[in-house]
Amino acid sequence: MQGKMQTLLTGGAAVFVLLVLANIWLFTSNREVQKEVNERGQYIQQSLALEKIYQPLVRALAELAGTRNDQQIKALLNEQGISFSTNPAAAQTAPRP
């Protein structure tokens, strides 16, 4: 009976050690994922603050590229995934009397 109990306790201790090692591995993995999520959240918060600057800047660049037909600015905006179209200038007619 003593030998069976010792074998059972040794097996239980081995399982316990494996569970502790699994817990340590999961804890460190979880910390790494939390760090990555926090970094992404910080990036999003910073991007939202800069959006107020980016929108008028992009609009001004698009207007400049459209009015001056500047191919370099158009290419720059296209590289960033920004596309725009220009409205053809309406032909102005003289008012009829």
How many structural domains does the chain have? 1
The per-residue pLDDT of the chain, averaged, comes to 88
Better pLDDT: 84 or 13: 13
Q: How confident is the model at residue 66 (pLDDT cuts 50, 70, 90)?
A: confident
**pLDDT of amino acid 3:** 87
The answer to the question of residue 9 being in a domain is no
Domain with 47, as residue range(s), is: 14-79
The answer to the question of residue 1 being in a domain is no
Q: In the chain, pLDDT over 70 holds for what percent of residues?
A: 90
> pTM score, two decimals?
0.48
Closest by CA position to 66, among listed 82, 50, 81: 82
Q: How confident is the model at residue 88 (pLDDT cuts 50, 70, 90)?
A: low
Q: Which structure tokens are listed for 91?
A: 């032909």
